[in-house]
Structure 1
Amino acid sequence: MQEINWNKHIDILKDALSGNGAFLIARDASGRANPMTIGWAQVGIIWSRPTLTVLVRRSRYTYSCLVEAPDFTVNVPTAGTLDDQLLFCGTKSGRDLDKAAACGLTMKRAQRVLTPIIAECRLHYECQVVLRKQLSREDFSSPQILDEYYQSDDHHMLVIGQIVAAYAS
């Protein structure tokens, strides 16, 4: 794997998020990696640092992992690959099973954080958590967003991670 500038392949991440998604991995209290499919994320500069922001609903098992986790990884598969695994990790809960093992994903040691990466993916971002913000109804000024995404009040937590490593295979 070759280390790259964090912004070199943002287009690949954007295309994945617009398609079948990417994998967010967080570790639970026992250290077990839990992959979850994400379709929303934001990459940019905040506080003069390269950051990747992910959103996770309170109802998701990954939420409980990220509440305490010091880091996370985002892993982007080659377009058209791992579609079954993305679907599985987006519809099954890690509360009850090891999703990575169940769908044949290989967890590999990351370079700078404790959370692993997915060996089968082509692009990896390692992030250290710098901010967690639980959203609530009062945070929104757009009733359309509330009506479209939060009818059940299952609001997301924003997790901003400083990108500490990015690499591609």
Structure 2
Amino acid sequence: MKKKIDVYEYMGEILKGVKSGILITGKDENKTNSMTISWGMAGIEWGKPVFVTFIRESRFTKTLIDKNGEFTVNIPLDESAKKILAYCGSKSGRDVDKAKELGLTYEEPETISVPGIRELPLTLECKVIYKQTQDIHAITEEDQEKFYPQNADGSQDIHVAYYGEIVNAYVIE
């Protein structure tokens, strides 16, 4: 069962979750995958509630979101998801079915095609309304060195910002 929520009333829980770690889930016609993030923002853009996630260009979840244009934000409400967050932050969906390995329970979505995750019950269903690759030259040198060291081929694996309109929000009970 899902309890509908007012996303604005839950902003504290959403941002607290981001600080501690949450999952972003993407899906295409063949695969569903979740990845751990701890960078994100919630707010209002063009009069719509949005969640902004930042995903490195090399991540498998990015390919799913690019194909589908939708994602869910899956937020734990207590400390019980630490193992899930650690695993999903250290394994690639290209190589392993994280949900199967962890025994995660997908919850049928209401508005989009990407499921929520019962074990991380605060769920935001999002449709991408804007995306932008970050400009490495607009980032301070200090942050470039810290977060974007050059790879052997000279690339820096920067992030793409996905602005997802929050089209539905609920807590899975």
Distance 1:82 1:121 in 2: 7
- Deviations, residues 7-26 of structure 1 (Å, cap 9, x unaligned): 1111112222222x111000
Tell me what 1:123 maps to: 122
TM-score, scaled relative to structure 1: 0.92
Q: CA deviation at 1:78?
A: 2.1
- Deviations, residues 122-142 of structure 1 (Å, cap 9, x unaligned): 21100011112112323x142
- Deviations, residues 82-104 of structure 1 (Å, cap 9, x unaligned): 11111000100000121111111
Counterpart code for 2:93: G
| Contact preservation (8 Å) 1:69, 1:129 | no
Q: Say whether residues 1:163 and 2:166 are aligned partners.
A: yes
Unaligned stretches of 5+ residues in structure 2: 151-155
Q: Secondary structure at the match of 1:91?
A: coil
Q: Secondary structure at the match of 1:18?
A: helix
Q: CA deviation at 1:69?
A: 1.9
Q: Secondary structure at the match of 2:79?
A: coil
Counterpart code for 1:147: E
Distance 1:87 1:141 in 2: 28
Counterpart code for 1:49: K
Unaligned stretches of 5+ residues in structure 1: none
Tell me what 1:114 maps to: 113
Q: Say whether residues 1:78 and 2:98 are aligned partners.
A: no
| RMSD after superposition | 1.3
Tell me what 1:49 maps to: 48
Q: Which moved more, 1:66-75 or 1:45-54?
A: 66-75
Tell me what 1:13 maps to: 14
Counterpart code for 1:156: H
Distance 1:162 1:67 in 2: 15
Distance 2:74 2:140 in 1: 31
Counterpart code for 2:22: A
Q: CA deviation at 1:33?
A: 1.1
| Contact preservation (8 Å) 2:25, 2:33 | yes
**How many residues matched?**
166
Distance 1:119 1:32 in 2: 18
- Deviations, residues 19-55 of structure 1 (Å, cap 9, x unaligned): 2x11100013x34210111101110001111100001
Tell me what 1:148 maps to: 146
Q: Secondary structure at the match of 1:62?
A: helix
| Contact preservation (8 Å) 2:15, 2:42 | no
Q: CA deviation at 1:65?
A: 1.4
